Amino acid sequence: MSLKLGIIADDFTGATDLAVTLVNEGMSVLQLFGTPDAVPDLTGIDAAVIALKSRTIAPELAVGQSVEACRWLTQQGAGQIFFKYCSTFDSTDQGNIGPVADALMDELDAEIALICPAFPINGRSVYMGHLFVGQELLSDSPMRHHPLTPMTDSSLVRLMTAQSRKRVGLVSHDHVKNGAEAIEEKLIKLALDGCGYAVADAIDNRDLRAIGRAAQFHKLITGGSGVAMGLPANFGISPSEAATAMPRVAGREIVLAGSCSVATRGQIAFVKDRWPVMKLDVDAIAAGEDVAGAAVDWANQRPATAPALIYASADPDEVAATQARYGVEKAGAMVEETFANIARTLSQTGFGRFVVAGGETSGAVVSGLDIRALKICGEIDPGVPWTQTTDGTEIALALKSGNFGTPDFFEKAFARLA
Ligand code: ADP
């Protein structure tokens, strides 16, 4: 089977976000963690998303990893490549969006590629080439203080010009509002003028779908998840129940929470007097005690019919005190490694349904379970789908980035499984 669409995402949660967008539009999507060594079973799969962690690494590394991913995807038949970055265009003058996009353009011999981070339902819109976060320009939003990628300019044309080798033009809303044909005409004009990139304005989903249609024959598209919503229709695919079906995986249910975000702490508080819960002792981990082993024993001794929760999450004062004792990185790494060990052993002792809270925690659990690919299933809350392994041990996983989900998320997640 060959892929229709190949996606390269510059971070893990962004990859899932884009995968869900395609699933909601009817595509069958596989998410891969890095470029795989072996080809997984792609039967019935329309799109593969290769999740990299390339947003803030050295530009030459990001380029190398992205080109490798692109080659793999085209080898599996993908005729169109989507380079997914954050809807706030997280990058610096050195990259990595510009250098990666330039390299992908060369690799694919593409004439012109869209730049469209807009995601209006999440408050990201582009007008006259300027990116807005809610009602503020990007450069007035909190993103101007981001520790790694401070965004102090809102002009996507200027931002991309600073980091790419190619000319950057604009398809303004005057064209976008007139639909796909008008956009296509403008794109052809820009290409003739020597532009390699076209920033596209988009203020609502109608704009995004028109832009997606206009890019039907582009070899490369770059942007946020929003513009991907128009792409499945280009392949004759429409929303379906099959695409959003939930995983059918038996096994005991467990929540592993390493996120210390407000949302996750609220979700933990919600289940505390409903389910058995256990808190990991970070000092005991640091002292070399077998905390993972004890947690696994505890989980195994709970009633098999109810879910249980194991968490490390703490309020900011407690986290700060722990970090002061062991260092920020070491504290995080110790907890992550413990969760990876817990997940691995639980999967071997009858647990098959995992909800994981926290981006880094999710990464650790996925590595602990030695998972290379996940089939994306239906959404639990916006941006958080159930997923299912496609080979090896059958596991259903919901990977929730810290701040996502309603207070009853954990309960809701398991209720969605048959
Ligand atoms: P989020 O998605 O909310 O950012 P992450 O899992 O990405 O969540 O990050 C949370 C980090 O905090 C992880 O590295 C985790 O190991 C760490 N952590 C969890 N609990 C504690 C704690 N009690 N003390 C210190 N660090 C912790």
The token pair that represents 347 in the structure block: 């999967």
Domains assigned to the chain: 5-242 (3.40.50.10840), 245-415 (3.40.980.20)
In this predicted structure, the answer to whether residue 1 has a pLDDT above a threshold of 70 is no
Q: Specify the pLDDT at position 122.
A: 87
Summarize the confidence of residues 263-290 as an average pLDDT.
Answer: 97
**pTM, 2 dp:** 0.92
Ligand 1 center from residue 50 Cα (angstroms): 24
Summarize the confidence of residues 267-290 as an average pLDDT.
Answer: 98
Q: Give the residue, out of 335, 362, 404, with the most ligand 1 atoms within 8 A of its beta carbon, to mutate for a pocket test.
A: 335
Question: Please, which residues have CB within 8 angstroms of residue 412's CB and are 6 or more apart in sequence?
Answer: 380, 381, 406
Ligand 1: residues within 6 Å at CB? 258-261, 282, 312-314, 318-319, 322-323, 331-332, 335-336, 358-361, 401-402
pLDDT single digits (tens) 405-414 = 999 999 999 9
Contact yes or no for 362/12 (Cβ under 8 A): yes
Helix (H, G, I), strand (E, B) or coil at 83: strand
In this predicted structure, the answer to whether residue 391 has a pLDDT above a threshold of 80 is yes
Round the average pLDDT of the chain to a whole number and report it.
Answer: 96
The closest-lying atom of ligand 1 relative to the alpha carbon of residue 311 is 20
pLDDT single digits (tens) 138-182 = 999 989 988 888 999 999 999 999 999 999 999 999 999 999 999
Q: Specify the pLDDT at position 177.
A: 98
Strands (E), 294-415: 308-311, 351-357, 373-381, 384-389, 396-400
Integer CA distances (angstroms), 345 to 130, 295, 367, 408, in order: 49, 10, 13, 27
Count H helices and E strands in the chain, helices first: 14, 18
pLDDT single digits (tens) 226-276 = 999 999 999 999 999 999 999 999 999 999 999 999 999 999 999 999 999
